[in-house]
Amino acid sequence: MARVLTVKHINRCIACYSCMLACTRTVSGRFSLAASAIQIRTRGGLQSKLAADVCLGCAEPACAAACPPEALRPRPGGGVRFARSQCDGCGACVAACIARVIRMDPEDSRPIVCVQCGACAKYCPHEVLEMAAVSEGGE
């Protein structure tokens, strides 16, 4: 059974950024919040509640469809696989992402893309995030 990252209990989030650091260490090998595919942010306003910007794990990812060199390809169960060596840095995926969660990494002009590895969920101390089971069709 495939699994896709899901924000389960955002009200439990304490903005410790463990998820973001787990992501950036796992995926990019760096220790930089800016390089994390998941972003925890305040929603603003007087109450300043928190929000998590995450890849939706689309069954038919628009980012992959928009990628001319096919560096992004659909992942079985939802989301994408990313072949960094094939990416030419055109940024088409950034414009195509329906959740607007893909950003270009200024350090190497390549996109910061969630690969649905689950490291963020594993290191969240409050079970805010979950790798939820989905059918291979991504439903």
Residues that bind ligand SF4 (CB under 6 A): 5, 13-19, 22-23, 26-27, 37-38, 40, 52, 114-120, 124, 126, 128-129
Nearest residue (CB) to ligand SF4, 18 versus 99: 18
Q: Round to the nearest angstrom and report the end-to-end CA distance of the chain.
A: 11
Say how many C-beta atoms besides its own lie within 10 A of residue 105's C-beta. Answer: 16
Nearer to ligand SF4, 37 or 64 (CB): 37
Closest approach of Cβ 63 to ligand SF4, in Å?
Answer: 13
**102 vs 119, which CB is nearer to ligand SF4?**
119
Closer CB to ligand SF4, 52 or 92, in the complex: 52
For the bound state, the minimum distance from the C-beta of residue 129 to ligand SF4, rounded and expressed in Å, comes to 6
d(CA 102, CA 55): 8
Shortest separation between residue 50's beta carbon and ligand SF4, angstroms: 7
What is the nearest approach in angstroms of ligand SF4 to the Cβ of residue 128? 4
3-state helix, strand, coil in the chain (%, to 5): 25, 25, 55
Q: Which residues have CB under 8 Å from 46's CB, separation 6+?
A: none
| In the complex, minimum distance from the CB of residue 136 to ligand SF4, in angstroms, rounded to a whole number | 18
- Contacts with 109 (C-beta within 8 Å, 6 or more apart), sequence order: 89
